């Protein structure tokens, strides 16, 4: 049974063990709940509906996304208390319900992606390890839709031998198989031949593997050399481009969810806005009633 003050730790442990929540999510929820406890001046697990209503008022100046996260943390926490029999009522009905909109992803055109590749392919035409490494990183960001953290932390053991798949550990420690294109596979083989040392990491550095910050810097510098605005290029933008361009090519949304490692398909659905015209055309051309009208 939880002791006073320990229920927050128990809730966070449940998130990690049962829901596979990412470490950053657990830390953020922990900060939100501790802050809420400080604001009410007592134990959060016995807070009244009136105290929670005052919390919502005190957070009214926060950005909608931040407010939504804090309220989500509280609702999940009190739901946990009720499920565990630590509380009979759920007081969160007095919290506001912020209307948030997931921001639309930044989009790269096909031409802009081609400019990036033309630049790095020209630079990697020789055997410069730095240029071949950057080509490999770009191929795997745009060709496989990897997150920055997933890419830089890839071990050498994840590289496919006979099967064109990578084994990637994503958010919450969830493993998934990610296809590697023929282009990316060729770049990988070039990089493996030039890769220095015996580090267990695919992209080693002096202190382990290259960092997310270093990956951002490499891409910004490449954008400048490709005559593109550096603020427009990042690992996540390339991941968005991977998803967007696959949808444009007719990819199934469920398949895209699997490739991106999204736990919830609602996260994947953000990409459908870029392909609205194709979807409308699909309904007009492929729906049985559309064909019936044409025959009439």
- Residue 142: its H or E element: helix 129-144
Task: Identify the DSSP state of 105.
Answer: P
Closest CA to 153 of 195, 219, 202: 202
- Gap between the Cα atoms of 180 and 89, Å rounded: 50
Q: CA 95 to CA 72: how far, in whole Å?
A: 10
Phi, psi of 147 (to 5 degrees): -75, 155
CB 88 within 8 A of CB 82: yes
User: Which residue in the block uniquely carries the two structure tokens 């590289």?
Assistant: 159
Active-site residue flag, 271: yes
Identify the three-state secondary structure at position 201: strand
Say whether 209 is catalytic.
no
The residue annotated as part of the active site, out of 133, 239, 240, 245, is: 239
Pick the catalytic residue from 176, 209, 220, 262. Answer: 262
Residue 236 known to be catalytic: yes
Q: How far apart are CA 81 and CA 169, in angstroms?
A: 31
Task: Determine which helix (DSSP H) or strand (DSSP E) holds 279, and give its type and residue range.
Answer: helix 276-286
Is 239 a catalytic site residue? yes
> Is 189 strand, coil or helix?
helix
Exactly one of 147, 190, 240, 245 is catalytic; name it.
Answer: 147
Residue 260, H or E segment: helix 253-260
Catalytic, out of 29, 77, 142, 271: 271
What span, in angstroms and rounded, lies between the C-alpha atoms of 182 and 165? 11
Which of 168, 135, 148 has its CA nearest to residue 235?
A: 148
CA 138 to chain centre: 17
Active-site residue, from 171, 183, 220, 225: 171
Catalytic residues: 147, 171, 236, 239, 262, 271
């Amino acid at each position: 049974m939880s002791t006073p003050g320990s229920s927050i730790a128990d809730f966070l442990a449940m998130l990690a063990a049962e829901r596979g929540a990412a470490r950053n999510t657990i830390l953020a929820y922990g900060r939100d709940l501790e802050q809420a406890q400080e604001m009410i001046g007592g134990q959060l697990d016995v807070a009244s509906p009136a105290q929670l209503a005052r919390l919502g008022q005190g957070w009214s100046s926060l950005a909608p996304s931040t407010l939504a996260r804090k309220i989500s943390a509280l609702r999940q926490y009190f739901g946990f208390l009720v499920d565990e029999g630590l509380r009979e009522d759920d007081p969160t009905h007095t919290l506001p319900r912020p209307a948030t909109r997931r921001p639309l992803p930044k989009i790269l055109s096909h031409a802009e992606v081609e400019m990036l590749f033309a630049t790095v392919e020209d630079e990697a035409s020789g055997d410069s390890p730095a240029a071949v490494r950057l080509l490999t990183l770009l191929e795997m960001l745009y060709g496989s839709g990897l997150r920055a953290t997933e890419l830089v932390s890839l071990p050498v053991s994840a590289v496919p031998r006979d099967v064109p798949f990578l084994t990637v550990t994503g958010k919450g420690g969830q493993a998934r198989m990610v296809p590697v294109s023929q282009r990316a596979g060729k770049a990988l083989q070039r990089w493996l031949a030039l890769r220095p040392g015996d580090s267990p990491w695919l992209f080693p550095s002096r202190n382990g593997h290259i960092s997310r910050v270093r990956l951002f810097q490499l891409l910004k510098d490449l954008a400048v050399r490709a005559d593109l605005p550096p603020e427009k290029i990042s690992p996540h933008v390339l991941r968005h481009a991977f998803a967007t361009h696959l949808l444009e090519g007719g990819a199934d949304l469920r398949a895209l969810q699997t490739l991106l490692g999204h736990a919830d398909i609602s996260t994947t659905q953000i990409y459908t806005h870029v392909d609205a015209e194709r979807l409308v055309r699909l309904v007009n051309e492929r729906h049985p009633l559309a064909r019936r009208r044409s025959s009439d």
